Amino acid sequence: LVQAIQYIGDRAVLRFSRDPASGALTFVNSYKASSAGFTGAKLGGAFDLALSPNEDFLYVAALNDDAVTVLSRNIGDGSLGFVQSRVNGQSYGGVTVQGMDEAVKVAVSPDGQHVYALGRASNAVAAFTRDPADGSLIFLHALNNTSPGLSALSRPQGLVVSADGAQIYVSARFGNAVFVLNRDAASGSGQFGRISAAQAN
């Protein structure tokens, strides 16, 4: 059996086939804004990527485009399609995306309901509601270094969601800190998916 692997380049996502027996990779193709069907995809300075729990969508943090881009993924062969990009400062359905200047990290919650991203220049963590059916994102809110308990959130660099989805851990390079953020993981809550500072180390 051959499985597909995605990798990010400067302005592209690359696809490789993988031999499970040896681990060897074979380049298949690349996806850029100039690729067929990818018009409007924001992939400039592609910096990080995260796979949805069902492995049917891929999320790319694009540093130069201040964006998170959503790509559909064929589970059988790993081929990708462009769904949408969500760009810092732009409005979608009357909601303006914030906290995404120099997007460097992206993570999907274990329940597949939310996506979180770091805006390095925004000193912020942005939260999005995710539609598991089509992978699309709606901006929820953002925390930055003016938010309570996050004054040392300077140049955030690392982002991890706990296995139970109850916490998010963020490292801040210039703040010399690791932050614990609580995530509302109760689907029936009016605050579902929102995050708040628990503590800073």
Residue range 73-101, pLDDT digits in tens? 999 999 999 999 999 999 999 999 999 99
Q: What is the pLDDT of residue 5?
A: 53
Lowest mean pLDDT among 9-18, 40-49, 169-178: 9-18
Per-residue model confidence as pLDDT tens digits over 134-173:
999 999 999 999 999 999 999 999 999 999 999 999 999 9
What pLDDT is stored for residue 2 in this prediction? 43
Give the angle 124-164-71 at the CA atoms, nearest 5°.
60
103 vs 85: CA distance, rounded Å: 12
| Digit-coded pLDDT (tens) for 47-66 | 999 999 999 999 999 999 99
- 6 — pLDDT class (breaks 50, 70, 90): low
Look at residue 200 and tell me whether its pLDDT is greater than 80: no
Q: Please state the rounded mean pLDDT for residues 99-109.
A: 98
Indicate the average pLDDT of the chain.
Answer: 93
Question: Are 72 and 55 spatial neighbours (Cβ–Cβ below 8 Å)?
Answer: no
DSSP 147: S
**pLDDT on residue 11:** 82
As a whole-number percent, the residues of the chain with pLDDT over 90 amount to: 91
Q: CA-to-CA distance for 94 and 90, rounded, in angstroms?
A: 9
Please state, in angstroms and rounded to a whole number, the distance separating the CA atoms of residues 152 and 175.
5
Across 17-32, average pLDDT: 93
- Selected residue with higher pLDDT from 199 and 102: 102
Model confidence at 3: pLDDT above 70 = no
Judge whether residue 124 has pLDDT over 90: yes
Neighbours of 91 (CB within 10 A): 10
175 or 6, which is more confident? 175
pLDDT of res. 93: 93
Burial of 161 (0-12, 13-18, 19+ CB in 10 A): buried
